[in-house]
Structure 1
Amino acid sequence: MQKYTTSTAFLEALSEAGVSYIFANLGSDHPALIESLAEFEKLGKTHPSVITCPHEMVALSAAHGYAQVTGQPQAVIVHVECGTQNLGGAIHNAAKGRVPVLIFAGASPYTEENELIGSRNEYIHWVQDVFDQRGIVRGYTKYDNEIRTGTNVKQLVHRALQIAKSDPKGPVYLMGPREAMEQEVSPVEINTTLWGPVAPAGLPPAGVRDIVHDLLCAKKPLIVTSYVGRSVEAVDELVRLCDSLAIPVIESVPNFMNFPSDNPMHCGYQWNGDRHELLSNADFVLVIDSDIPWIPTTNKPDNDCVVYYIDVDPLKNQMPLWYIPAKQFFAADATIALQQLNECVHSIANLDNGFIRTRRQRVTDFHNRQRTEWQIGETPRDDVITPEYLTSCVRELVDDDTIVLSEGITNFSTICKHLRANRAGMLQSSGGGSLGWNGGAAVGIKLALPQKTVINLVGDGTYMFSVPSSVHWVANKYHTPFLTVIYNNGGWKAPKMSTLAVHPKGAAAQTNLFYTDFDPQPDMAKIAEAAGGAFARKVKEPGALLDVLQEALAVVQGGRSAVVDVQLPHHSSTLL
């Protein structure tokens, strides 16, 4: 190479760490990186592929999606504090979803009279200079640092990724001013085998014995989970445990498919305000991989219930207010912990099989009654499309090579119930609370798993938060087609529900004024068509819905994205 700079070493480090893609939104602080990338390309030197993203939310969501389905962190490059701030909701999602990703931001030059290469030469370099750029994201990152020299940049990159990939996983942030990234240095070599993540931990032997003892003594045990499904092996172990002892499972605001919906031990889902009788009546609850296993104001176990809590982050250090009463808390990997519990259970020779058979029948009956009730809701009406019917139609499109991304919010529970997810990896959500993850995530997942069909199920508000103009430009440019189905109820239903929950007879309820309508409604599907040539349709009649969805799926499988805007009853038409 003509010059070996800090930027050269930085890009080499990304490649050494297995980073395949850089999701980039470049600025005036990145000349050194742009030059190094161009020279790598000119010389045919291996480097991560650059995916240009016209919005930072899309860039980080794409990296999030890629890492979520592969476990391999990717890189996001943004410019100074403005680009860092535009990451906003996406970095929240990566933090709360425990997804590893490396974010690099440039920084304003620290010289202004051409003392060094990269010195300030544009107006914006003064305007974008702030006192604590790293502080913008410090509440959401596991690690942040500044690159000051190229002599140890590889160590910083590999240390950052080591931290990102160690449980609890999460985003890391590096920044580097122009002068540092332009610095010419001697080629840097590093032994990457010495920078692996911390090995996952299991339960202490005494903890295994305590859990199994109390579990076998329980008459009405229950398991609650939200993200065991991050690991296919953990799902298999959970099924094995529950099938062996006839333990019912509830998924609380699931981020993944955690337990097959068609397994008779699956007993439903929890969402805001839901009351689940199995939780209320349980005498033993094992919470494994769940940040919010229940909402105490509406539903929780009895005070005499024995609770155990297993998670890679059992104290939730990033949540200022969080607590549940539990007999013991364990910091452990779900797969290892469940393997340990299964081994202990299967070493016991005198299990009460008659009692287990009786409980199995009771739980199976509950499961069957619940599914019968759900099935009734899928019956189509002559004049309107309901969320239940819509989800049942989407279910017809799903096969073993389909990944469904759910960001339905007020229809989150409906999607879980009626999609009937039964395969690990089939259902994915962001794990966070900032809407708009779905579009960029679909791009990232298609890059990671191009053989898969990706279907996004989103609300109309969520769709707009995803920056669809940017998403579909990227999807078109990089050949990552996916299907988006919009559950369009004409506005933000969630704030309305929240207001009614606190003020059921207040002024807003009396006047039906919630200030959440999207009227006049934009032609949402046409946004994707204009930006990325997507197939665009709007559907109002139940009789036409399945045909349009099937047509859209065929378009996606042919290599072109599609958006189907499904008109549901307007959220403001009636009080809830």
Structure 2
Amino acid sequence: MYTASTAFLEALAEAGVEYLFSNFGSDHPALIEALAEARAAGIAMPKVVTCPNEMVALTAAQGHAQVSGRAQAVIVHVECGTQSLAGAVHNVSKGRVPVLIFAGASPFTQFGEMKGSRNEFIQWIQDVHDQRGIVRGYMRYDAELRTGRNIKQMTWRSLQFAHSDPKGPVYLMGAREVMEEALDPAAQAGLDVADFAPIAPSALPQEAVHALLTDLAGARRPLVVTSYLGRNPQAVAELQRLVGPLGIAVLESVPNAVNLPHDDPMYQGCQWNEPRQNPLLAEADLVVVIDSDVPWIPTVSKPRGEAKIWHLDVDPLKQDMPLWSIPARRVFRVHAETALAQLNAGLDRISLDVARIGERRAHYARLHEERKVALARAEAKPAGDRLTAEYVTACVRAHVDADTIVLNEGITNYPVVVNHIAPTRAGQMLNSGGGNLGWTGGAAIGAKLAAPGKTVIALTGDGSYMFSQPSTVHWMARQYGTPFLQVVFNNRGWRAPRYSTLAVHPAGHASRAADIGVAFDPPPDYSEIAAAAGGAHARKVRHPDEVESAIAEAMHIVKTEKRAAVLDVWLPHLMEG
């Protein structure tokens, strides 16, 4: 039997999709039958990963794509499963991560007119006016499959959108009757996924290459600000080739990838929500923003008024953001690797003031060393019995090698993790790229599936750990052999809302209150949740003397026993400090 579902699965496999992160329902009999038939016949199809929670399915697909660069598929149940994707939809959209989401739909016949017609009460209740509209605002493309005869073209077209800049999620839906449609396999044989290639990378106009190089050569304090250039490791290499010889500083703003190795002398650190003017921005006379959604927060920190600003971005208009602007006079939609390679290729066609470049390179190298000393001081082992996130993160760093991927969902400890993991290789550290919490757990599973030989370490706040559906995550980690270390920064609640409130009302009633409704105190037993759900190693860590041995033990278990490990690390209470 060759059905639309068979053709759909073939189309995914031919497009390079390895996994179906699936939460099956009453709308998927044809898919389930096609998969079972393929297994019985020994026909290769994408592997099914059963996901008891839809949000974890999408975060796992995201984690895989962030490591592999290839979209995976997520299968959910009608509009209910679509809504249960929850905030993970936001993350894949804002993080520009390619993924294909397929949802079934209630049958459109009710008297047995077609195979797959309604035969369960739920199919009347789950028939809604605009199922695609639930997620349309986050998708690069959405469509309904209305016949199996063009299902391969529709699938490949959606993936063409997903893999074209700016990349992102796509959504397909199909009713049971469509997915059950019998097809002639010979009619599908001549179709070729190569006919649906993603859009080629965009380059800078040659005039702009010369003009930007001239500005970079003539500036006294040139600065590159970036956030997600490092999603493409080749772009990192091109950036490093450019900034070293020219003595250009690099500042990360809300980074969600490794944009420049932290041991490069031109690396000047990262900025997040710090309520102060960044001195590098204040000093720069030329700022080149490359791939950044929030290069600065203008109410507290911005470039000086006379600074010349260039903006190079895969998405310079920020089309999904109603309010957005920076005072850039030269703006280009470009592929960062391509544009940086153009700049590097054009270096020998401009004149360089060796003394000027040497002075600014020495200036930034000195600032780099001063920052390094300050970070070392901050991560020293505490003298008392209270842990610090800086010390814990530095102890984790001791176990990070060339085969380690670090996932950062530290929330108010985001900058701590970036600063004290201090990654030195492109692709070594990631975060969700969005603002919805709960990404780390599923993403760790996806990252491990994409790179089985890598060690995955996830650093997360306790609030985001709870959002991540840990019982589902750790059941899946055991079921599919994806062990990882998860370190929970436990400050007994959500510290971010407290910080936000203090930023607006620094001397208000909330600043003096002992409880503002954001604490989980006493907290759940985070590590034991993972142990119960997936046999994970569980341990609480409350004292500085316990940290190094606890991490070493956990890493041994992850690497040798192939079990996940969760360390519940108790930091000072969120209402302190």
Which bracket does the TM-score occupy, shorter chain normalised? Answer: over 0.9
C-alpha separation between the residues in 1 aligned to 2:289 and 2:514? 39
Shift of 1:121: 1.0
Equivalent residue for 1:148, pick from 137, 140, 146:
146
Q: 1:371 aligns to what?
A: 372
C-alpha separation between the residues in 2 aligned to 1:474 and 1:287? 40
Shift of 1:427: 0.5
C-alpha separation between the residues in 1 aligned to 2:421 and 2:455? 16
C-alpha separation between the residues in 2 aligned to 1:398 and 1:217? 39
Equivalent residue for 1:459, pick from 461, 464, 478:
461
After TM superposition, the structure 1 = structure 2 runs for residues 123-202 of structure 1, keeping only pairs within 5 Å, are 123-187=121-185, 188-189=188-189, 190-202=191-203
Choose 442-451 or 363-372, whichever is displaced more: 363-372
Which deviations, in whole Å up to 9, do the C-alpha atoms of 1:124-164 show, x marking residues without a partner?
A: 11111100000000010000000111000011001000111
Q: 2:574 aligns to what?
A: 571
Q: 1:245 aligns to what?
A: 246
Q: TM-score, normalised by structure 2?
A: 0.98
C-alpha separation between the residues in 2 aligned to 1:155 and 1:400? 40
1:21 equivalenced with 2:33 (yes/no)? no
Letter of the structure 1 residue corresponding to residue 164 of structure 2: S
After TM superposition, the structure 1 = structure 2 runs for residues 292-303 of structure 1, keeping only pairs within 5 Å, are 292-303=294-305
Q: 1:269 aligns to what?
A: 270
C-alpha separation between the residues in 1 aligned to 2:486 and 2:512? 35
Q: 2:428 aligns to what?
A: 426
Contact 1:273 1:295 in 2 (8 A): no
Letter of the structure 1 residue corresponding to residue 255 of structure 2: P
CA RMSD of aligned residues (A): 0.9
C-alpha separation between the residues in 2 aligned to 1:213 and 1:226? 24
Q: 2:385 aligns to what?
A: 383
Equivalent residue for 1:94, pick from 72, 76, 92:
92
Number of paired residues? 571
Which structure 1 residue ranges, 4+ long, deviate > 4 Å from structure 2? none
After TM superposition, the structure 1 = structure 2 runs for residues 375-524 of structure 1, keeping only pairs within 5 Å, are 375-381=376-382, 382-524=384-526
Shift of 1:452: 0.1
Letter of the structure 2 residue corresponding to residue 84 of structure 1: T
Secondary structure of residue in 1 paired with 2:103:
strand
Shift of 1:273: 2.8
1:232 equivalenced with 2:233 (yes/no)? yes
C-alpha separation between the residues in 2 aligned to 1:192 and 1:391? 44
C-alpha separation between the residues in 1 aligned to 2:348 and 2:393? 39
Letter of the structure 2 residue corresponding to residue 66 of structure 1: H
Secondary structure of residue in 2 paired with 1:132:
coil
C-alpha separation between the residues in 2 aligned to 1:426 and 1:14? 28
Shift of 1:513: 2.9
Equivalent residue for 1:533, pick from 512, 515, 535:
535
Contact 1:62 1:442 in 2 (8 A): yes
Letter of the structure 1 residue corresponding to residue 136 of structure 2: R
Which deviations, in whole Å up to 9, do the C-alpha atoms of 1:486-516 show, x marking residues without a partner?
A: 1111100000000000011111112233210
C-alpha separation between the residues in 2 aligned to 1:395 and 1:231? 23
Which deviations, in whole Å up to 9, do the C-alpha atoms of 1:452-485 show, x marking residues without a partner?
A: 0000000000111110000011110000100000
Q: 1:81 aligns to what?
A: 79
Letter of the structure 1 residue corresponding to residue 241 of structure 2: R
C-alpha separation between the residues in 2 aligned to 1:538 and 1:375? 25
Shift of 1:34: 0.5
Identity %: 56
Choose 132-141 or 366-375, whichever is displaced more: 366-375
C-alpha separation between the residues in 2 aligned to 1:124 and 1:74? 29
Shift of 1:113: 1.1
1:6 equivalenced with 2:36 (yes/no)? no
C-alpha separation between the residues in 2 aligned to 1:379 and 1:13? 54
C-alpha separation between the residues in 2 aligned to 1:510 and 1:527? 34
Choose 92-101 or 211-220, whichever is displaced more: 211-220
Secondary structure of residue in 2 paired with 1:88:
coil
Q: TM-score, normalised by structure 1?
A: 0.98
C-alpha separation between the residues in 2 aligned to 1:230 and 1:378? 28
Contact 1:238 1:259 in 2 (8 A): yes
Which deviations, in whole Å up to 9, do the C-alpha atoms of 1:198-233 show, x marking residues without a partner?
A: 111110111111211211221111000111111121
C-alpha separation between the residues in 1 aligned to 2:496 and 2:432? 17
Letter of the structure 1 residue corresponding to residue 65 of structure 2: A
C-alpha separation between the residues in 1 aligned to 2:159 and 2:359? 49
Secondary structure of residue in 2 paired with 1:207:
helix
Unaligned runs of 5+ in 1: none
C-alpha separation between the residues in 1 aligned to 2:522 and 2:379? 29
Letter of the structure 2 residue corresponding to residue 227 of structure 1: Y
C-alpha separation between the residues in 2 aligned to 1:213 and 1:333? 21
Shift of 1:366: 1.0
C-alpha separation between the residues in 2 aligned to 1:209 and 1:130? 55
C-alpha separation between the residues in 2 aligned to 1:465 and 1:540? 23
Which deviations, in whole Å up to 9, do the C-alpha atoms of 1:48-104 show, x marking residues without a partner?
A: 000000001110111111111111111000000010001121111101111111100
C-alpha separation between the residues in 2 aligned to 1:346 and 1:256? 30
Which deviations, in whole Å up to 9, do the C-alpha atoms of 1:410-468 show, x marking residues without a partner?
A: 00011111111111111011101101111111111111100000000000001111100
Secondary structure of residue in 1 paired with 2:40:
helix
Letter of the structure 2 residue corresponding to residue 332 of structure 1: V
C-alpha separation between the residues in 2 aligned to 1:327 and 1:346? 26
Which deviations, in whole Å up to 9, do the C-alpha atoms of 1:504-531 show, x marking residues without a partner?
A: 1111112233210001211000010000
C-alpha separation between the residues in 2 aligned to 1:218 and 1:137? 45
C-alpha separation between the residues in 2 aligned to 1:555 and 1:123? 48
Which deviations, in whole Å up to 9, do the C-alpha atoms of 1:289-311 show, x marking residues without a partner?
A: 11111011110001111000011
